[in-house]
């Protein structure tokens, strides 16, 4: 059951409307139903499905390209379906193969209800963007991925937002990375995503390159990263960044909190620490009142129907 019935524009159109305001869009990284529900309850205008979070929560594996297309599509559809009125940007990794694989991925992501997704230029056996030792495909192969996504969008008459990500900065330098993003934008990407920016100068050059072009820039704010530059939402806005992703905003507190709770359980302190949060409070965040209301409405209707047709 959806959290809220979809009304009005499609998810892609909703995301485009948000981007058209010129305000920096802050997107919390969610990876399952509970984190998505909490982000919705907090009132965010757009969510981001983190591939690292899905990989760790769904298959218990680090973000090393082990989560499959099917697992990612399933997670995407579940999260996007909770509230169709709030757009979801999803990690689509490398597209999971060649151009034909990318096309199938995009078809399935659009059907799942995403508002936007990012495709990257790492090899299929990818790594998290904030790890070392990343390898990128050729520019030709990268652009074939973006072109495949653009063609599927056209075929489906969709307004899904295509985000071109590059990990080339770490191994090939800023000039090559920006060349890749400019080429991807020419092919049809709406948003560009330079991963693992290290310095203020790189951020300024990245922002200046696309300022006034109509192409939206994205920044990936990975909390705790030893690689990426830390910037605030205000600083992102000052640089004209259109989207800021926070992939670890739910994952890190969950890791810290659950680790602490498990230790408290071992020490015999779990009740005194967590009894202040009744299960009902969490159930309510996860749609309990809506579900029970729907159930009552159906049963009341059936009772009335039977009474009138005795």
How is residue 253 written in tokens? 């507190």
Burial label for 258, CB within 10 Å (0-12, 13-18, 19+), is exposed
**Active-site residue, selected from the candidate residues 3, 27, 83, 120:** 120
Is residue 250 annotated as a catalytic residue, yes or no? no
**Active-site residue, selected from the candidate residues 83, 91, 159, 167:** 91
**Active-site residue, selected from the candidate residues 3, 195, 206, 246:** 195
Q: Provide φ and ψ at 238, rounded to 5°.
A: -65, -30
**Active-site residue, selected from the candidate residues 14, 37, 48, 84:** 48
CA–centroid distance for 75 within its chain = 11
* DSSP states along 32-77: SHHHHHHHHHTT-S-EEE-HHHHHHHHSS--SSS-S-HHHHHHHHH
**Active-site residue, selected from the candidate residues 16, 37, 118, 145:** 118
Residues 6+ apart with CB under 8 A from 209: 178, 181, 182
Is residue 295 annotated as a catalytic residue, yes or no? no
Is residue 63 annotated as a catalytic residue, yes or no? yes
Is residue 120 annotated as a catalytic residue, yes or no? yes
**Active-site residue, selected from the candidate residues 31, 165, 219, 246:** 165
**Active-site residue, selected from the candidate residues 14, 31, 46, 93:** 93
Is residue 118 annotated as a catalytic residue, yes or no? yes
Is residue 176 annotated as a catalytic residue, yes or no? no
Is residue 128 annotated as a catalytic residue, yes or no? yes
**Active-site residue, selected from the candidate residues 27, 63, 153, 206:** 63
Q: How far apart are CA 95 and CA 72, in angstroms?
A: 11
Q: How far apart are CA 127 and CA 251, in angstroms?
A: 18
Which run of H or E residues covers position 119?
Answer: strand 116-119
**Active-site residue, selected from the candidate residues 27, 46, 128, 136:** 128
- Between the CA atoms of 73, 77, 79 and 85, what dihedral angle is there, to the nearest 10 degrees? 140
Is residue 83 annotated as a catalytic residue, yes or no? no
Is residue 220 annotated as a catalytic residue, yes or no? yes
Is residue 14 annotated as a catalytic residue, yes or no? no
**Which residues are the active-site residues?**
48, 63, 91, 93, 118, 120, 128, 165, 195, 220
């Amino acid at each position: 059951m959806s959290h809220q019935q979809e009304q009005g524009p499609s998810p892609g159109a909703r995301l485009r409307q948000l981007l058209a305001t010129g305000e920096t869009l802050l997107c919390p990284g969610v990876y399952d139903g509970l984190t998505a529900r909490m982000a919705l309850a907090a009132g965010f205008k757009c969510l981001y499905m983190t591939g690292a979070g899905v990989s760790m929560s769904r298959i218990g594996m680090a973000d090393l390209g082990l989560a499959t297309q099917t697992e990612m599509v399933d997670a995407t559809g579940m999260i996007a379906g909770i509230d169709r009125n709030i757009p979801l940007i999803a990690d689509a990794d490398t597209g999971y193969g060649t151009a034909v694989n990318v096309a199938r991925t995009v078809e399935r992501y659009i059907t799942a209800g995403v508002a936007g997704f990012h495709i990257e230029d790492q090899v299929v056996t990818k790594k998290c963007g904030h790890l070392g030792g990343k390898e990128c495909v050729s520019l030709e192969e990268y652009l074939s991925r973006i072109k495949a996504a653009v063609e599927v969008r056209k075929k489906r008459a969709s307004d899904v937002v295509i985000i071109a990500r590059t990990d080339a900065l770490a191994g090939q330098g800023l000039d090559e990375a920006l060349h890749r993003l400019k080429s991807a934008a020419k092919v049809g990407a709406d948003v560009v995503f330079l991963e693992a920016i290290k310095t203020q100068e790189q951020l300024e050059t990245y922002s200046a390159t696309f300022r006034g072009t109509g192409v939206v820039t994205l920044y990936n704010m990975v909390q705790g990263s030893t690689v990426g530059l830390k910037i605030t939402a205000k600083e992102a806005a000052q640089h004209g960044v259109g989207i800021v992703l926070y992939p670890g905003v739910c994952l890190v507190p969950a890791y810290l909190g659950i680790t602490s709770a498990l230790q408290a359980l071992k020490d015999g302190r779990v009740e005194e620490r967590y009894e202040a949060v009744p299960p009902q409070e969490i159930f309510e965040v996860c749609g309990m009142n809506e579900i029970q209301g729907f159930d009552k409405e159906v049963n009341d209707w059936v009772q009335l129907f039977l009474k009138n047709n005795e």
